[in-house]
Structure 1
Amino acid sequence: MTGERGRDHGGGVPIRPAATVILLRDGDSGVEVFLQHRVASMDFAGGMTVFPGGGVDQRDSESSVAWQGPEPVEWGAELDCDASLARALVCAAVRETFEESGVLLAGHADGTVVTDTGPYAAARQALVTRELSLAAFLAETGLVLRADLLRPWSHWLTPEGESRRYDTRFFLAALPEGQLADGATSEAAGSGWQRPADALDDARDGRTMMLPPTWSNLADLVDVPSVADALAARRRVERVTPRLVRDDEGIRLVIDGQEWS
């Protein structure tokens, strides 16, 4: 299995598990994704266009998290890891999405999904500052994490040679009805919805910058006709491990034998 927490695959830099969520909605001209432009001064991916997400917190693996949907053991089979890490990854995906975009993939006891996140604004900030864990937040509000709203999409490992390395699972999720995605996070200088093709055009023309995982995930969504089609897609998720090559020409990134530029 892959994805053990805190492991080191060489190079002396610990690899941290992480989760990222590609939020989708159906726009007037096709599928749109929610993107954030990270503050340039950020230590990791500063100035880059990204999806909401981040590293797994130790408390994301708490077994007391109120849960609805495929069980962690099922997620483990999908994500190629044990059930404990699968639980942590799904919890991190939900927590980070709420912290960074205000979108809450959770529901009520009657089975309905949250439509108004306004009552949870204070809890959102407490999650950001780590004063509150996801498990405690759900318990205090009577909410349940909706694992069934997520779909596995891709898996990327930061290459050796970087000062920070993440083993990141990317998930898809539809924007829940009634909810709004915002950019109210200190990590983003701006945010908004775009068609994947338009976001890629911005990057090609130098208006924005993207890391390879963001580019690749957007490219895979360009021809998807609707959010329903994206969520229904059955993908074989295999880990992609880019490789940094240093030679007389400088530093190049190679992915699956192809040079990336």
Structure 2
Amino acid sequence: MPFSDAVPENPAVPRDAATVVLLRDTDQGLEVFLQRRVAAMAFAAGMTVFPGGGVDERDADASVGWTGPEPARWAEWFSATESGARALVCAAVRETFEESGVLLAGSGNGVVGDARLYAEARQALVSRELSLAAFLAGAGLTLRADLLRPWAHWITPVQEKRRYDTRFFAAVLPAGQHADGATTEADASGWQRPADALTDAEAGRSVLMPPTWHTLTELAEFGSAAEALAAERTVEAIIPTLIREEDRIRVVCHE
């Protein structure tokens, strides 16, 4: 079996990461943006996921232009240090731009209308030639933390060799912007209603990790993006447990 329910003597230390659940309203109802990770990925290969990834040490740069709830507030929501919370929010914005082309930034009170204008910067962020703070400063943009909402906090099971301490954010697709699949980390991308994504998983047409399945189940209850973002939430860390049952591994989620 590829998985074991045995708890290692020295579990891997989870790496901080950020995931963003992008939402949009359509005539058919609320939709979410999902990507299927390529089979060569070291973590969650072949899985259907939301955009996201690990925190870069430069994401904690305090010089980044910032609009919205301050890092101290995010630290309260996510039970993190202030510098850690800043890095998580910056990672959320950076990874969303890198993986989907959606840029949660703007100038003044506005939001970027066509993020494709920053295609070269997007590639420079992916290659780590450019930091988020340097990109925003050079483009005269400010990070829009007010476009994000805290959603959840998931930590990879201790049995896994590669672990992440991931904060989930939710955000609405900004007007005029388009989410794409122009990333080497995914071989398919697109918008789906949460219920349809769950149906695909149940039918074996896709594979979801517990956090993705759980989040889609929650979102399926909302009729619009505004309704989802307005919902009151208490964010507490969830660490799934792997339990062997004969020839299968069952995942149990608990806070």
Normalised to the residue count of structure 2, the TM-score between the two structures is 0.94
The aligned counterpart of 2:223 is: 225
The aligned counterpart of 2:95 is: 96
- Shift in Å, 1:50: 0.3
The residue type paired with residue 209 of structure 2 is: L
The aligned counterpart of 2:156 is: 158
**Once structures 1 and 2 are overlaid, which stretch shifts more, 112-121 or 199-208?**
112-121
Check whether the contact 1:127–1:133 (CA below 8 A) recurs between aligned residues: yes
1:204 to 202, 213, 231: 202
The residue type paired with residue 51 of structure 1 is: F
Check whether the contact 2:11–2:159 (CA below 8 A) recurs between aligned residues: no
Distance 1:32 1:231 in 2: 13
Q: Secondary structure at the match of 2:219?
A: coil
Q: 1:169 to 1:190 in 2, by over 3 A?
A: same
Name the structure, 1 or 2, with higher relative contact order (CA <8 Å, separation 6+). Answer: 2
Q: What is the aligned-residue identity percentage? A: 64
Distance 2:130 2:192 in 1: 32
1:172 to 159, 170, 173: 170
Any gaps of 5 or more consecutive residues in structure 1? 1-8
The residue type paired with residue 180 of structure 2 is: D
- Work out whether 1:19 is the aligned partner of 2:18: yes
- Shift in Å, 1:231: 1.1
Any gaps of 5 or more consecutive residues in structure 2? 1-7
Query: Deviation per CA, 1:46-88, whole angstroms, max 9, x where unpaired?
Result: 0000000000000000001110000000110111111110000
The aligned counterpart of 1:34 is: 33
1:145 to 140, 143, 146: 143
The aligned counterpart of 1:111 is: 109
The aligned counterpart of 2:70 is: 71
Q: 1:92 to 1:175 in 2, by over 3 A?
A: same
Distance 1:30 1:166 in 2: 32
Check whether the contact 1:19–1:170 (CA below 8 A) recurs between aligned residues: yes
The aligned counterpart of 1:52 is: 51
The residue type paired with residue 215 of structure 1 is: W
The aligned counterpart of 2:3 is: none
Q: 1:209 to 1:14 in 2, by over 3 A?
A: same
- Shift in Å, 1:44: 0.5
- Shift in Å, 1:12: 3.6
Pairs within 5 Å for 1:186-197: 186-197=184-195
Q: Secondary structure at the match of 1:252?
A: strand
- Number of aligned residues: 248
Distance 1:15 1:234 in 2: 27
Check whether the contact 1:76–1:83 (CA below 8 A) recurs between aligned residues: yes
- Shift in Å, 1:140: 0.4
Q: Secondary structure at the match of 1:220?
A: helix
The residue type paired with residue 25 of structure 2 is: D
Q: 1:10 to 1:158 in 2, by over 3 A?
A: farther
Check whether the contact 1:10–1:160 (CA below 8 A) recurs between aligned residues: no
Check whether the contact 1:68–1:148 (CA below 8 A) recurs between aligned residues: yes
Query: Deviation per CA, 1:163-211, whole angstroms, max 9, x where unpaired?
Result: 1000101100000000000000000001000000000000000000000
Distance 1:67 1:77 in 2: 18
Distance 1:248 1:202 in 2: 26
Q: 1:196 to 1:10 in 2, by over 3 A?
A: farther
The aligned counterpart of 1:86 is: 85
- Shift in Å, 1:250: 4.8
